[in-house]
Amino acid sequence: MRDVTDPDYTVGIVGAGVMGQGIAQVTLAGGMRAIIFDAKDGAAAAGQAEVFKRIDRLVEKDRLSAADADTQKARLSVAASLADFAGCDTVVEAVVEKLEVKRQIFGDLEDIVAENAILATNTSSLPIASIARTCRVPGRVAGMHFFNPVPLMRLVEIIEGPATDPAVAAQLSELGKRMGRTPVSVKDSPGFLVNLGGRAYYTEALRLLDEGVATPSQIDAILTDCCGFRMGPFALMDLTGMDVNYPVSMIVYEGFLNDRRLATTPRHKLLYEAGRLGRKTKAGHFDYDEAGKNVTPSDADYAPSGAPASKVVCAEAPDEPDALFALCQAVGLEILEDDDGTSPIIGYPVGDDATSYALELGIDPKRLVAVDVSADTAKRVTLMTAPGADPAHLDAVAAAIVASGRAVTAIKDSPGFVALRMRAAIANLGCAIAEAGLATPSDIDLALKLGLNYPMGPLEMAGELGLETTLVVMELLQEITGDDRYRPALWLRRRALLGLPIHTPS
């Protein structure tokens, strides 16, 4: 294999679509030569023209000099056929996600490129093992999964199949760095790292919706305002499209032999089959106008109709540093030392639903208003009540919070509210990935932050919540729902019980 720092290092790209164009652009930016091919007549030339336009825009924005732009353009050529890839050091395939098509391309390439050339696939879901299976030299086949748009998304997953030579994976990591990407090493598995680790964000939100806990607008508002996610899960599903995220969800679910942790919901399938794909069809979880703006009225903000409460009873004796106590102080609620029998009772059930919490503590469920203080309450506060609760108490507590300048989202009864439950599920799946050894704990966190713009990685999320808290939430979710979906990962359980940091290696 030629040293990746060689000035004449050449990358062939099969497929001149959006991904192929992006891979070509970052190859050029890394000072290498790129050759692009597409089986469709004229597509490679059109792809080359698009890359040139993007380079010209960088010049217009003063992000690239005209001289450097000319140098980059001179390094990109169009192949008339795969035979033009004979001198390539690495070839990256970026065509349709069909196994037989990819196998045919790799078989053809093996007859063309040098024996020491690397063959990489940009597949997002097909196993590397399946693609390499029919190759004469499977050791030189690996995954090099970029993210769209390639020039802006810094992450690249380097995936080792069972037969991949470690030197090949190491070379691709160095190639990714030269392209200006941040490589993470991943073992071959359904969905690899990002598409696997990202399932919890979508599917747990869909589960909350399925249970009637909250609406898409409410869940999105809680995740963005309280947890720091850039987009809520429903807005994000609509952006990527149900034609993308539903099939990927099923590939990952079936690839892991129907593991309940990865199951999606009937509603997800229904939207996909109905053609409500999201922004691209102007209808998904939300409705959109011609400009792609969400025009569905939001029901995220609860509008209380009664007077604000001035005093409350705490379900459990508060300590001054307690987050619930601090919130009461911030919104001007006096905490009574003794129950007066009429004021709202507030509490923070960690992982429990309001029903179980009231019964365990022997308090009046009609007066209980559960408050989620696991996340940031500066903008929005989530309140939850048990079935049959007196709405006057919810109104009174909500009115006091709204008067302080905060928004309130009122949800139905749920173990773990929304924010706590979502983050625990994300953290638990990240721990399961670490447990399986698919990637290092640090790479798991890095990949989810770079690939999905998470505010922190899933293992970091467990650390932020507290390992004991995360474990308790998962245990109670499994106990209350009876669903194996919530079984705690052994990686999480062992470190929580031993009092070890979440990134402690096995």
Identify the bridge partners of residue 314 per DSSP, sorted by sequence position: 346
The answer on 215 and 139 residing in a single domain is no
Q: How far apart are the first and last CA of the chain?
A: 34
Bridge-based pairing of strands 334-336 and 311-314 is parallel
What average pLDDT does this structure show over 218-229?
98
What average pLDDT does this structure show over 455-484?
97
Q: Which runs of consecutive H residues, i.e. helices, occur in 14-161? A: 18-29, 43-60, 66-74, 99-110, 128-132
Q: Please give the Cα distance from 23 to 108 (Å, whole number).
A: 21
The answer on 23 and 79 residing in a single domain is yes
CA 291 and chain centroid, separation: 25
Find the catalytic residue in 122, 173, 189, 195.
195
| Active-site residue flag, 258 | no
The answer on 160 and 26 residing in a single domain is yes
The answer on 138 and 27 residing in a single domain is yes
Q: Is the pLDDT of residue 35 over 90?
A: yes
Total domain count for the chain?
3
Cis check for the bond before 344: say yes or no (omega within 30 of 0).
no
Kindly state whether residue 304 falls inside one of the protein's structural domains: no
Beta strands in 266-379 (DSSP E): 311-314, 334-336, 345-347, 368-371
Find the catalytic residue in 145, 268, 285, 393.
145
Contacts of 62 (CB under 8 A, 6+ apart): none
| Residue 139, domain extent | 10-188
Identify the bridge partners of residue 347 per DSSP, sorted by sequence position: 370
- Predicted confidence band of residue 477 (pLDDT cuts 50, 70, 90): very high
| Active-site residue flag, 110 | no
Q: Residue 196 in contact with residue 433, Cβ under 8 Å?
A: yes
CATH of the domain at 240: 1.10.1040.50
Q: Is the pLDDT of residue 11 over 80?
A: yes
- Predicted confidence band of residue 317 (pLDDT cuts 50, 70, 90): confident
pLDDT for res 319: 63
pLDDT for res 128: 96
Q: Residue 69 in contact with residue 87, Cβ under 8 Å?
A: no
| Active-site residue flag, 285 | no
What average pLDDT does this structure show over 181-201?
96
Kindly state whether residue 194 falls inside one of the protein's structural domains: no
CATH of the domain at 44: 3.40.50.720
- Predicted confidence band of residue 479 (pLDDT cuts 50, 70, 90): very high
Q: Is the pLDDT of residue 242 over 70?
A: yes
Question: Could you count the other beta carbons within 10 Å of the beta carbon of residue 260?
Answer: 12
The rounded percent of the chain whose pLDDT value lies above 90 is: 97
Closest CA to 140 of 91, 187, 179: 91
- Predicted confidence band of residue 85 (pLDDT cuts 50, 70, 90): very high
Question: Could you count the other beta carbons within 10 Å of the beta carbon of residue 137?
Answer: 15
For residue 384, what is the DSSP state?
A: E
Q: Is the dihedral of CA 168, 171, 172, 173 positive or negative?
A: positive
The answer on 53 and 166 residing in a single domain is yes
The answer on 164 and 41 residing in a single domain is yes
Q: Please give the Cα distance from 32 to 10 (Å, whole number).
A: 6
pLDDT for res 1: 81
Contacts of 402 (CB under 8 A, 6+ apart): 302, 304, 308, 408
CA dihedral 190, 192, 196, 197 (to 10 degrees): 160
CA 182 and chain centroid, separation: 17
Contacts of 349 (CB under 8 A, 6+ apart): 356, 357, 370
pLDDT for res 321: 61
The answer on 164 and 22 residing in a single domain is yes
| Active-site residue flag, 503 | no
Kindly state whether residue 1 falls inside one of the protein's structural domains: no
296-305 pLDDT per residue, tens: 999 999 999 9
Locate 399 and state its tokens: 């009115």
Q: Please give the Cα distance from 239 to 134 (Å, whole number).
A: 36
Q: Please give the Cα distance from 16 to 469 (Å, whole number).
A: 48
Where residue 211 falls (left for φ over 0; alpha for ψ -120 to 50; beta otherwise) is alpha
Question: Could you count the other beta carbons within 10 Å of the beta carbon of residue 104?
Answer: 13
Q: Residue 113 in contact with residue 85, Cβ under 8 Å?
A: yes
Kindly state whether residue 431 falls inside one of the protein's structural domains: no
pLDDT for res 345: 98
Find the catalytic residue in 124, 294, 414, 428.
124
pLDDT for res 342: 96
The answer on 163 and 275 residing in a single domain is no
Contacts of 377 (CB under 8 A, 6+ apart): 226, 323, 327, 330, 406
365-423 pLDDT per residue, tens: 999 999 999 999 999 999 999 999 999 999 999 999 999 999 999 999 999 999 999 99
pLDDT for res 84: 97
Mean pLDDT, the chain, integer: 96
CA dihedral 464, 468, 469, 472 (to 10 degrees): 150
Q: Please give the Cα distance from 381 to 406 (Å, whole number).
A: 7
Task: Select from 188, 218, 237 the last residue of a domain.
Answer: 188
Kindly state whether residue 426 falls inside one of the protein's structural domains: no
The answer on 216 and 177 residing in a single domain is no
Find the catalytic residue in 50, 93, 157, 204.
157
Write out the DSSP string of 50-88. Answer: HHHHHHHHHHHTTSS-HHHHHHHHHTEEE-SSGGGGTT-
- Predicted confidence band of residue 201 (pLDDT cuts 50, 70, 90): very high
The answer on 149 and 25 residing in a single domain is yes
Q: What are phi and psi of 178, to 5 degrees?
A: -65, -30
For residue 353, what is the DSSP state?
A: -
Kindly state whether residue 288 falls inside one of the protein's structural domains: no
pLDDT for res 306: 87
What average pLDDT does this structure show over 34-44?
97
The answer on 180 and 240 residing in a single domain is no
